[in-house]
Amino acid sequence: MKKFNSHFMLGAATAAHQVEGNNVNSDFWTMENVPGSMYKEPSLDAVDHYNRYKEDIQLLIDAGCNSYRFSIEWARIEPKKGKFDPKEIEHYRKVLGFCQQNNVTPIVTLHHFSSPKWLIAEGGWESEKTIEYFGHYCQYVVSELGDLIPYICTINEANMGKQITKIMKRMIGSDSKGENGDVQVGFNIDMKSKMETYYRSLGEAFGIDPRNVQTFLSPRTENGDLIIMKCHEIARTVINEVNPNIKVGITLSLYDHQALPGGEEYVKKEQYEDFLLYLPFLQDDDFLGVQNYSRKIHGPDGVVKPNEDTRLTKMGYEYYPEALGNVLRFVAEHWKKPMIVTENGISTNNDEERVEFIERALNGVHQCVEDGIQVNGYMYWSLLDNFEWQLGYEQTFGLIAVDRSTQVRYPKDSLKFLGSVNKFGLN
């Protein structure tokens, strides 16, 4: 049996807006509820993790896991610019305290896609002012909660805006309506319908010109990309000043890019734009959060779409758990510090397929560790079936199913399997 060492962090991940419910001061709540919304459905109560976090974390513990990655919601902490809510800080203090009391290592993300509504009205993620605002938010959170947080991911998938920009350019240049598989998780962009009405509604809701609505997942300019990295840098500086014991990193969405003959230059370009471009901003980080769901194959004309015989996930991209190990090896060629797999998973209605996915992915991780690559943990995405952004509640990534009419939890065999890896190892 192949086993990880006793310090290996094994657990699952969530994002606040996707699980907590009633995040009424966020930009996503606004986007879900405006007239002509492009969201399949609103998040509403989500899966009520805000009130049921103890039950959910306990299920993770009972299965045998020892770590939990979750995000603190900026829109709750600072619902109005400069006005911090001590009640919400106390909530996250309780979540962190519950983790610590039960020997669960918390990995906290300070920004996971959703932002305060007021931030977008102030110019959002294309505005230089956001750097200062994010620094103030981070300083407040770490000053209040830092003693309870061993690991912080400043920003989730900092490269996502650039990936979305590339996807939109590809879609504009084709007759495709877009495939869910174009983005690894959760953001299917429909370029053909409702855009004009939708953005007009957003402009009215945020009180700005519709052309200036810049959420974290809006197509990003080069300057916007730089602003994201400056936000990361100021967050890291603040965290190190307030509590130098906290290990600081960022997470990136990384595909396993593979080349057919003639596709080598496409792979090099994608690897640069997804990862290598960001390395100069990460040199003072303590770890890197690696997030991977599948591979992309590149031929002489670019990305090769899966054929009819390709095994696909419910999200529409290739079922290929080995992508994770390949990505970790690629990153390790350029990054000599620790890595944590902060997301990896599958949307499927067949839990046996999820168990197989986790086992194959973890075998790849274990082999990386055996080969001397510093991988310190694996967080499956996600702990719960949750609100998958624009796609609503149809996608099922979770280790725990939820009946949203009752909010009753139903742990799946995949949760039991994940937890068993620490005790029994892998075949």
pLDDT tens-digit map of 49-104? 999 999 999 999 999 999 999 999 999 999 999 999 999 999 999 999 999 999 99
pLDDT reported for residue 180: 41
pLDDT reported for residue 348: 98
Closest CA to 291 of 253, 321, 323: 253
Phi, psi dihedrals of residue 147, rounded to the nearest 5°: -65, -15
- pLDDT above 70 for 110: yes
Does residue 111 fall inside a structural domain?
yes
Residue 361 contacts by C-beta under 8 Å, 6 or more apart in sequence? 321, 322, 324, 325, 344, 378
Residue 334: what residue type?
H
We report the CATH number of the domain holding residue 381 as: 3.20.20.80
Give me the mean pLDDT over the 191-205 stretch. 81
- pLDDT above 90 for 161: no
CB 177 within 8 Å of CB 194: no
CB 354 within 8 Å of CB 348: yes
Could you tell me which residue, 177 or 146, shows the higher pLDDT?
146
- pLDDT above 70 for 29: yes
Cα–Cα distance for residue pair 198/186, rounded to 1 Å: 19
Is there a catalytic annotation at residue 157?
A: yes
pLDDT reported for residue 163: 80
Could you tell me which residue, 167 or 141, shows the higher pLDDT?
141
Does residue 385 fall inside a structural domain?
yes
Instruction: Assign 176 a pLDDT band (cuts: 50, 70, 90).
Output: very low
pLDDT reported for residue 185: 53
Task: Exactly one of 78, 126, 157, 270 is catalytic; name it.
Answer: 157
Does residue 2 fall inside a structural domain?
no
Instruction: Assign 175 a pLDDT band (cuts: 50, 70, 90).
Output: very low
The pLDDT tens digits of the residues spanning 390-415 come to: 999 999 999 999 999 999 999 999 99
- pLDDT above 90 for 17: yes
CB 312 within 8 Å of CB 177: no
Does residue 219 fall inside a structural domain?
yes
Instruction: Assign 171 a pLDDT band (cuts: 50, 70, 90).
Output: low
Does residue 333 fall inside a structural domain?
yes
Does residue 1 fall inside a structural domain?
no
Does residue 3 fall inside a structural domain?
no
Instruction: Assign 196 a pLDDT band (cuts: 50, 70, 90).
Output: confident
Least confident of 152-166, 207-221, 250-264: 152-166
**Mean pLDDT of all residues belonging to the chain:** 94
Identify the domain containing residue 419 by its residue range: 9-424
Phi, psi dihedrals of residue 13, rounded to the nearest 5°: -125, 155
Instruction: Assign 194 a pLDDT band (cuts: 50, 70, 90).
Output: low
How many domains are there within the chain?
A: 1
